[in-house]
Amino acid sequence: MRPGTRRHRIAVVAGGLAGILAAGLIGPLQPSAAAGTPGEVSCPAGLTARATCYSGQDSNGAHYAVAVPRDWNGSLVMHAHGGPDLGEQSDPQRSLDDLERWSVMVEEGYAWAGSSYRRGGYGTRMAAADTENLRRLFVAEFRRPRTTLVHGQSWGGNVAAKVVEIYGAGKDSPYDGALLTNGVLGGGSRGYDYRVDLRAVYQYYCRNHPRPTEPQYPLWMGLRDGSSMTSSGLRARLQECTGYASPPADRTPVQQRNLDDILSVTKIPERTLESHLGFATFTFRDIVQRLGGRNPFGNRSVRYRGSHDDRALNAGVERFSADPSARRDLSYDSDVTGAVSVPVLTMHAIDDPTAFVEHEAAYRAALEGAGRDRHLVQTFTQESEHSGLSTSEYANAVSALSRWVRTGERPTPASVAASCPSFDAVHGTGCFLRPGFVPADYSSRVLPRPGGQHWPALSAAREREWSRVEGIGIAP
């Protein structure tokens, strides 16, 4: 077959997909029929008098939890959890814990359903498929909701964004809107580049991950196969090199300089340095293993700045280039196309130390590129935590999204801020919305990859071409 023909393009695409499936990155894409019947369980303490709760396990092995309020308003919130967790098995407690964490949705009258996913580890499309599978189960076991919203926080924001792109297109979409909070919206192919830089810069200064006396491996692996390193062991090495857990007065001059240089170059906040290094170690290992040992990360042309000696850093830091097929497959799994056809409301802490607020700029650019930014309203709060925002703000945000879906009247950041105090009168956790805030470009926070290091953002056209390959099972 001749290169450039449609048959050739589809063969290339099919070969790429086969590589992803073989690596176990995304798993089966077609949601399957759920197994068994959800059983009634005890609700979290705050919901005992307000709802009936259920749990079960679907045919893919994903555990889930469901709550139906006694005064149900007829709408359903599907929850996509963050992480990803790294255990191989689906955690039966995870979805129940998420129900307790997001109980405000049920308190506000929405039914709630959340999947623990069929396994731990990376796989954005896998998690999206499990979320859709649970929605179908809810409809079969209870009834079709008046409206269905999907909510995702952190990596779950990426999952929820893919849910509405894959399953939420067309006039018969089962999803009516999406709420993305503190979302990792830069996608896998560039959303973790600052952790790639941390992994390389840390090793340049610290030389203990791995130590010279230990088996060596390329840093893009995160951690070598077979390593017995634990989180506490990694924490001890970070402390050894930087003294990060000690008061500044107790650090040695070398530790303080190492810490200063690492933080200045990577722009990672000191208070989340440990968690970012953990992600660049254990989650990177998981991603690479699911890609069959291929490397999706690169820093070959990155110029590092902000250290006490940038010339020495750039000359001595380990360099590596992404395997184009691995970066393509990671892009296919998690990058957003912007091709949304339902209302999307985002809410992000301006000082989020984990998923930097500049992720929102990357997401807006994706929707603008697809000509779909009319479906997007972004709001920002003057908060500084990643894992949770004010309960009053969550109640207000889901109400604002629901109103947009029902009436077709697009809210503004100012109108969302103006409606928050009425919810704060009930929940009392504060409203910190800043309607005038606009995040800087993603590249202002995360060093760009010059020279073609970035796999281009997945286009809607490419998404449709993938969907036409026989056997994928994605709705076009």
pLDDT of residue 32 exceeding 60: no
In this structure, how many other beta carbons lie within 10 angstroms of the beta carbon of residue 233?
A: 12
- What is the percentage of the chain residues whose pLDDT exceeds 90? 82
Helix, strand or coil for residue 8? Answer: helix
DSSP-H helix ranges across 339-412 = 359-369, 391-407
**How long a stretch of residues is the chain?**
476
The strand ranges marked E within 425-476 are none
Q: What is the mean pLDDT of residues 233-255?
A: 98
Q: Give me the amino acid identity at 42.
A: S
The tokens of 256 are what? 């303080």
Q: What is the mean pLDDT of residues 426-437?
A: 98
User: 184: Cβ–Cβ under 8 A, 6 or more apart, which residues?
Assistant: 82, 154, 155, 157, 158, 191, 355, 359
pLDDT of residue 454 exceeding 70: no
**H/E run at residue 53:** strand 51-57
| pLDDT the model gives residue 34 | 52
DSSP 8-state secondary structure symbol assigned to residue 35? P
- Per-residue pLDDT band for 182 (boundaries 50, 70, 90) equals very high
Q: What is the pTM of this model?
A: 0.89
Helix, strand or coil for residue 284? Answer: helix
Q: How far apart are CA 56 and CA 75, in angstroms?
A: 21
Q: What is the mean pLDDT of residues 125-146?
A: 95
6-15, 90-99, 324-333, 357-366: range with lowest mean pLDDT: 6-15
In tens, the pLDDT along 385-394 reads 999 999 999 9
Q: How far apart are CA 417 and CA 415, in angstroms?
A: 5
Q: What is the mean pLDDT of residues 327-340?
A: 94
pLDDT of residue 453 exceeding 80: no
Helix, strand or coil for residue 473? Answer: coil
- Per-residue pLDDT band for 30 (boundaries 50, 70, 90) equals low
| pLDDT the model gives residue 25 | 61
DSSP 8-state secondary structure symbol assigned to residue 80? E
Using alpha carbons, list the distances in angstroms from residue 190 to 1, 52, 197, 390.
33, 41, 11, 29
Q: What is the mean pLDDT of residues 442-460?
A: 63
Contact 393, 432 (CB under 8 A): yes
| pLDDT the model gives residue 473 | 25
**H/E run at residue 278:** helix 273-278
DSSP secondary structure of 241-271: HH-TTS-GGGS-HHHHHHHHHHHHHH---GG
pLDDT of residue 6 exceeding 80: no
pLDDT of residue 94 exceeding 60: yes
The tokens of 410 are what? 């697009």
Contact 340, 178 (CB under 8 A): yes
DSSP 8-state secondary structure symbol assigned to residue 88? S
| pLDDT the model gives residue 450 | 62
Structural domains for the chain: 11-187+331-467 (3.40.50.1820), 193-324 (no CATH)
DSSP secondary structure of 295-341: -----TT----SSS-HHHHHHHS------HHHHHHHHHHH-------
Helix axes 253-266, 231-242, angle to 10 degrees: 110
Q: How far apart are CA 42 and CA 93, in angstroms?
A: 13
pLDDT of residue 8 exceeding 60: no
Nearest to 466, CA basis, from 241, 49, 162, 235: 162
| pLDDT the model gives residue 456 | 40
pLDDT of residue 475 exceeding 90: no
Q: What is the CA radius of gyration of the chain?
A: 22
User: 125: Cβ–Cβ under 8 A, 6 or more apart, which residues?
Assistant: 26, 27, 29, 162, 166, 333, 334
| pLDDT the model gives residue 173 | 87
- Per-residue pLDDT band for 458 (boundaries 50, 70, 90) equals very low
- What is the percentage of the chain residues whose pLDDT exceeds 70? 87
| pLDDT the model gives residue 283 | 97
Q: What is the mean pLDDT of residues 154-167?
A: 96
Average pLDDT, the chain: 89
pLDDT of residue 315 exceeding 50: yes
In tens, the pLDDT along 47-73 reads 999 999 999 999 899 999 999 999 999
Nearest to 61, CA basis, from 15, 94, 84, 109: 94
Q: What is the mean pLDDT of residues 325-351?
A: 96
| pLDDT the model gives residue 457 | 44
Helix, strand or coil for residue 40? Answer: strand
